[in-house]
Structure 1
């Protein structure tokens, strides 16, 4: 049985303007919100066009002669919802009144405007959308459930790199939530809840729709808060921004459904730009980050020799072969220079990851987008064959992470399939090798 909520009368008969603004409408004619904003109310317009004059005359009697409605009395028992959701909501007012299902994220959504200093957020922030017929109502109870899931389950699946096993466990289970509850860091709390909801959507496919709605709502508010915070990065807030940024990367991958809707190279580039953009913003705080709780992630793993890794060994060998082919086949000096540099960046990411962590594949897929050049991104956006061939080798590493990471599931194969659809000779050889390795049909696999 649904729980009753004091001071809340659910209705779908509000005026169009209140629906568009996603605020509570008192359903008077005209409603108080429209009167306050000095705009025409659709309730008055619809009544005027459908009722006889006598009915309209009766209804325009003085408000003083009418008894207060249940809605009016209830309004004194609940906080006002006439204002947009504040990104810096206090923790005890975390839940929006109702969550509404956003439109699917697509590659043709605008990636910001020329005046937007952070355009890489736009792809992951749904545009304003109308309310559905059956909005999903949530409460602080569901938020507590998400927080519990994050600290007890999701935290154990994140960033198993650097420091000791106990420190890695406590970082996301204890340290990050503590940072999120600090004043001014509500955006991190929202992103924690978004990540937990995406994880539950992965674990419970039959409830995927419900959790995806919650995740998208929390992530939207988190991005709004981070947009404000990055305007003034300090030694106090840089840790919360770094934590939220790390979780944005996870959410960007987890929020898609490569197993249902094939993802494209453009989708992947959008994720790259998000990681690269936030990484660039945080460069100025690198010293403070290493001195704080996240300094544990920068501590090299204690290992005397680099451990063998079949996938990374083969990718490194194939990159050497690919580089020789680039030097012999690519005629344009600019394209050749960009791709040669990017091959070096990918190899360096692999070598550094293997030397500093026992989980090198994840470190590679998270660090390579940060050092990716603008020139290489432009080549990928333009469908350059050589650039996509190189991206295929990165996808092999992404696919290798699926053995232990839930949020990369399906991405490697899906992007490789998109690459293969557009690849032409002589670069089909590279995409064929990558596809063969991922699908298990590669002749060189042991």
Structure 2
């Protein structure tokens, strides 16, 4: 007769196995016998706790999925391409059978802070009108959450970070880096969306318009904050500010779908684009601008003998005149006014401005007076004087007398 096999008694087995007087393999979170008989093992609910990554009680139906515990806010990916590792046979008996794998959620708390800051602070800082503030606070975030490219979400976060950099100097360097990252993503998203003109449709043109507007706001505000972090040792000569070609580029891309934007949910943002004022031709400053484009006794008189050049100057002055008339007639600060003139001037004038022709710079200095009327908005603060200082640095001495009116209006005195 063969000797009896020795065995070790199970003293830490589950209650179910002890009641049935059978050996328990003590496998957690569910022993082999309980798995075999499809019953809930009391290991799984012992002390109401379970191993990390496993839920504490059995799901009531196969439609419920396991919940990661604890949930990480900035989790590192689990082994296996960011998914949970394969379950053991015993675990498979405990978890519901499903082809769906779970991934630990990742929440960027900085972005959450920026989104919260946008909601409570930023919309009122972009405009002085309640109806337009509502658009920025309520309508535009909804547009952002439904777009596929994500450019509007990044644009919102970029501006929120830039505003935090403005109002909280101790966070300035950090927030400006964050803003730059989101700005880059927003620009890439817009470029991808407008790369094929036929891809701009009624259902995405409003999101592209809002994204592009915020990109322009960033381009206006960023140099001012950059100088607060790292002041220049001297005032550099004037160069074309990035936001001017941005405004023109956005307009050229979206003008084909402008009717959809004008009649859509963002239409309040366009208030003020129509000319409603009387002529401001009597204004001494505007008359002085016309003079430098007609008086042959002025410097570089040969330039204005070219009819194409003189027409470009006249057109730019006329559009600026209309904008001042609008501002006077409506008697309120209209953010849209600073966007109108850059898209109204001709390509010929824009080229002259890029070439830093003195007449073009003097006309642009007068436009800065209009820009200065929005000085109360943080993203425009200091920009008019910023441009004027550089124009002074760039203009030859004989032309600086034509800056007297802009200097007076922007700096006072």
Partner of 1:118: none
CA shift at 1:381, angstroms? 2.1
CA shift at 1:433, angstroms? 2.9
Q: Are residue 265 (structure 1) and residue 229 (structure 2) matched?
A: no
Asked which structure has the greater RCO (Cα within 8 Å, sep 6+), the reply is: 1
CA shift at 1:298, angstroms? 3.3
* Cα distance per residue 1:125-182 (max 9 Å; x no partner): xxxxxxxxxxxxxx52111110111121111122346xxx3x2221000000001001
Partner of 2:127: 159
> Could you tell me which of 180, 185, 188 is aligned with 2:144?
180
2:281–2:321 Cα contact (<8 Å) kept: no
- For the pair shown, the structure with the greater C-alpha radius of gyration is 2
Number of aligned residues: 306
Partner of 1:192: 156
Identify unmatched segments of 5+ residues in structure 1. 9-71, 79-91, 96-138, 442-446
Evaluate the alpha carbon distance shift between residue 286 and residue 76 of structure 1 in structure 2; reply closer, same or farther with a 3 A threshold.
closer
TM-score (norm 2): 0.67
> Could you tell me which of 350, 359, 366 is aligned with 1:377?
350
* Cα distance per residue 1:315-353 (max 9 Å; x no partner): 943011221232113332243222111101211233345
Partner of 1:29: none
SS class of match (1:395): helix
Partner of 2:361: 388
* Matches for 1:324-343 after TM superposition, within 5 Å: 324-329=291-296, 330-332=301-303, 333=306, 334-343=308-317
CA shift at 1:436, angstroms? 3.0
Identify unmatched segments of 5+ residues in structure 2. 1-71, 85-102
1:365–1:398 Cα contact (<8 Å) kept: yes
TM-score (norm 1): 0.62
SS class of match (1:393): helix
Q: Are residue 417 (structure 1) and residue 389 (structure 2) matched?
A: yes
Partner of 1:247: 214
CA shift at 1:73, angstroms? 3.7
* Cα distance per residue 1:269-310 (max 9 Å; x no partner): x21001100111010111111121111233469xxx979xxx
Cα distance in structure 1, aligned partners of 2:177 and 2:312: 40
Evaluate the alpha carbon distance shift between residue 356 and residue 180 of structure 1 in structure 2; reply closer, same or farther with a 3 A threshold.
farther
1:263–1:418 Cα contact (<8 Å) kept: yes
